[in-house]
Structure 1
């Protein structure tokens, strides 16, 4: 019989994730169990909203109701993760807003980004967005509702990752990023981690309206092995302008 179990464990900073995983494997082996595979993912300390555990993790608003789709206050997904090898680096995908992926199901964007993460030798994918409000199409300015928990997971994902793929598209650049820049120290966070920032391609390049394209924005153009472009200082200043 093979048993897959999922739980959450809070431990102090005296031990690393890798040390904990090794101790867990040793303890299970000492009991005569054959450990086939372990997959560990980290989360921020004391998350505000309950998270769903499975082979993956999703964090929704504490009052999330899957049927209350027009409630911009609570119909939110803050964070999504997929892990297939916890010993390999983490890639974060920073999109515009969540679609319909959850703990146990993927949407086309997540499926694509998992392939891209694997191609770039990563073992986990984190997903955050410029707005946590879940909407699959027809996004408007009013849909970019940012709160403290949303920024908390953005900060966590960026700090934990080796690659951060910026892909929030035209509307994310127009409405989501300005809101984040106004309310939170997003520019400072990105500046400290600029060496991690990559894009798949730019829309309206070399203009003041430049934005990082979503990988599925142009059908059949992007493939998982598509090269990732680093962000130079000029592009950084366009994407994250200093407010007057």
Structure 2
């Protein structure tokens, strides 16, 4: 099955600076997987980026038929470090869309993988607890600080394993606000 067999969709803000969600489907007969990352890069409804290619490759290998990509911060940038300097990196409608997409797929596993880059705002992580507290979270390992490892930095043989919040530790790190 090649790239032409994968159907893609994405939803953006009217200004085009925020991506609320992105979906890839290659086999609707198989279950979907939700992924919650740090922020969107350049991928859209048709075009992939390195992270999305890795996400799809891993999800396919694990036996899923679709991937729904959501983010802590909806602001599009290929450099997560810039999020700290951008106004409104979360995006005004991001949590609304997170809630909607999670509700749309209530049985789908939730793979978290924002890495250390997504942990700079402990307050942001606290905002997500109500949206995700009823879901079992999975990761492909964790950073030294306890954050779910980003998929670009794991081997192709990585497996999903249970992951739990470490909010107090995240809030205790220097630089977290």
TM-score under structure 2 length normalisation: 0.80
Aligned counterpart, 2:34: 92
Report if aligned partners of 2:116, 2:143 keep a CA contact under 8 Å in 1.
Answer: yes
**Greater RCO between the two (CA within 8 Å, min separation 6)?**
2
Map 1:71-90 → 2, pairs under 5 A: 75-90=17-32
Residues in 1 aligned to 2:36 and 2:45: alpha-carbon distance in whole angstroms:
18
Q: The residue matched to 2:158 in structure 1 has which SS?
A: coil
Are 2:153 and 1:212 aligned?
A: no
Aligned counterpart, 1:173: 119
Q: Which runs of 5+ in 1 are unaligned?
A: 1-36, 40-54, 65-74
Report if aligned partners of 2:140, 2:149 keep a CA contact under 8 Å in 1.
Answer: yes
Q: The residue matched to 2:29 in structure 1 has which SS?
A: coil
Q: Which runs of 5+ in 2 are unaligned?
A: 172-177
C-alpha RMSD of matched pairs (Å): 2.5
Report if aligned partners of 2:72, 2:118 keep a CA contact under 8 Å in 1.
Answer: yes
Instruction: Count the aligned residue pairs.
Output: 163
Q: The residue matched to 1:118 in structure 2 has which SS?
A: helix
Output one character per residue of 1:82-112: Cα deviation in whole Å (capped at 9) or x when no partner.
0112222111111111110011110111111
Larger Rg: 1
Alpha carbons of 1:57 and 1:151: their partners in 2 closer, same or farther (altered >3 Å)? Answer: same
Alpha carbons of 1:237 and 1:117: their partners in 2 closer, same or farther (altered >3 Å)? Answer: same
Are 2:40 and 1:107 aligned?
A: no
TM-score under structure 1 length normalisation: 0.60
